[in-house]
Amino acid sequence: MRLAALLSLLSFQALGAETIVFVNAANDGPSGLHSLKVLRDAVVKADPTAEKAIKSSVVLEEPTAHVAQGPKQVLGEVNRLLTEGKAAYNRGNLDGATEAIAQATAMAMSTEPWPETFTAIAELERLTGLISLKLKDSAAADEAFRNAFLLNPQLQSLDSAMGVYARMLKSKDRGTGQVVIKVDPLTAWVMIDGQKASSGVSGPLEAGTHFISASREGYTGQLQRITVPKGKIVPVNLTLLEATNEPDLVVARATVLAAQTDAAMALGAKKVSELMKARFVVLVRPDDAAIYDATRTQLGSFTKIDPAVTAIVDALRGAVPKPLITDAEVKNIEEKRANEIAAGASPDAWYQKPWVIGAGAGAVVVVVATIVTVAVVAKKNPPTYTFNNWCYASDCPPRN
């Protein structure tokens, strides 16, 4: 027993830790979730060392549930609210414009500190300034216009009125202050008012509002709005969290759920594998499960939960998951094609029936009766397609 456990552990270490992901692939979410937990626990019970290879259990909400929007979606909503606010202002509905500005500003401050983000905030500040002028609040107008010009100096040349206002603001001596920026991770990109800066003590900054941000690839950026008093030094702490790819995973899972064929299901599993950087993806339905092997671009057959446990453990130990089409079935297809050709059918008639997906040199994924697998059909002049470019028979281009 000890020797078996040691060999199992060495097998997992050879493949590298965290190489498998479980995905709830059931349209009935709760049933799939239950089966996923049962399967995962059974795999660990069958071989405790398997737990080292489990990267994550992708237990996503149903596609209709709320998923955090991506930065582009957030900025799209910000611009929609900005347009809504401008329209309300033009109608004289200052309360409606103010409400739209408040919502848009909150969203903009919560997303990535991209150039588009600062441009949107500048427009929101300009609109706030216009509203403040209507309300005869000159102090609020001065602050809003100052912020707008700070983030987007081009607004000064928007029209003559903006130019006059910008020159008036520059003539006022507000004094200066400083900020001390501490950022984690230390290699994050720091900006002050949309301009490149660095962590540590800043140079003199005009007293008033400033926008401090940090960003780094693989992390969620952060943007803070701070007030720098005259003659004061303000500490600013920016701690970035690792970015989540949950929205992309939801899309990948939705692809699996909507799949009408095993080919489409394999593509969904492939995407999950890429996002999670896992070798194996286990698609779990209420009564069965299938293993996708990223190194072979191969989706195994769906089996009942009990045999699926054994198949998963065997796969982690190095065994090749059983394909959905066996070599014997491929041979039968080839023999049938040969008989059809002998009976007078076109040599390419066989190709016009199934779908074909290229899976590397000398191999294709053949889908017959909605079944997909990687099968070696080392024949002369095979079709040449990429895994990401599969087609219906009626749409497929001729072979080379």
More confident site: 20 or 118: 118
Owner of token pair 């003659």? 231
What would the mean pLDDT of 84-102 be, rounded to a whole number? 96
Which residues contact residue 122 at a Cβ distance below 8 angstroms, ignoring those fewer than 6 apart? 147, 148, 149, 150, 151, 152, 155
**Angstrom distance (rounded) from CA 354 to CA 59:** 34
Least confident segment among 202-206, 302-306, 350-354: 350-354
**CA 258 remoteness from chain centre:** 19
Whole-model pTM? 0.55
Do 22 and 33 touch, CB atoms closer than 8 A? no
Name the burial class of residue 377, with classes exposed (0-12), middle (13-18) and buried (19+) by CB atoms within 10 angstroms of its CB.
middle
Fold of 2-64+246-316: Rossmann fold (3.40.50)
**Angstrom distance (rounded) from CA 334 to CA 325:** 13
215 phi/psi in degrees, rounded to 5: -155, 155
259-291 pLDDT, tens per residue? Answer: 888 788 888 888 888 888 888 999 998 889 999
Considering only the top CATH level, what class is 69-172? mainly alpha
Least confident segment among 36-45, 278-287, 354-363: 354-363
Nearest Cα residue to 180 out of 198, 202, 197, 196: 202
What would the mean pLDDT of 19-25 be, rounded to a whole number? 86
- Per-residue pLDDT at 327 exceeds 60: no
Highest mean pLDDT out of 4-18, 284-298, 336-350 = 284-298
What would the mean pLDDT of 93-108 be, rounded to a whole number? 96
Q: How confident is the model at residue 108 (pLDDT cuts 50, 70, 90)?
A: very high
**Residue 90: helix, strand or coil by DSSP?**
helix
Domain map (residue ranges) of the chain: 2-64+246-316, 69-172, 173-242, 323-400
Q: How confident is the model at residue 215 (pLDDT cuts 50, 70, 90)?
A: very high
- % of the chain at pLDDT higher than 90: 40
**Tally: H helices and E strands in the chain:** 11, 19
pLDDT given at position 69:
72
**Residue 91: helix, strand or coil by DSSP?**
coil
Beta-ladder partners of 181: 200, 236
More confident site: 231 or 218: 231
CA-based diameter of the chain, in Å?
A: 95
Q: What is the mean pLDDT of the chain?
A: 78
**Angstrom distance (rounded) from CA 267 to CA 260:** 12
More confident site: 130 or 373: 130
Least confident segment among 242-251, 301-310, 313-322, 365-374: 365-374
Highest mean pLDDT out of 99-108, 305-314, 318-327 = 99-108
List strand residue ranges (DSSP E) for the chain, in order: 20-24, 54-58, 176-184, 189-192, 195-196, 200-201, 205-206, 208-215, 219-220, 222-228, 233-239, 241-242, 280-284, 288-293, 298-299, 303-304, 355-358, 363-368, 371-376
pLDDT given at position 315:
84
pLDDT given at position 277:
83
CATH superfamily of 173-242: Carboxypeptidase-like, regulatory domain (2.60.40.1120)
Which residues contact residue 132 at a Cβ distance below 8 angstroms, ignoring those fewer than 6 apart? 138, 140, 141, 144
- Per-residue pLDDT at 334 exceeds 90: no
The tokens of 36 are what? 């996923």
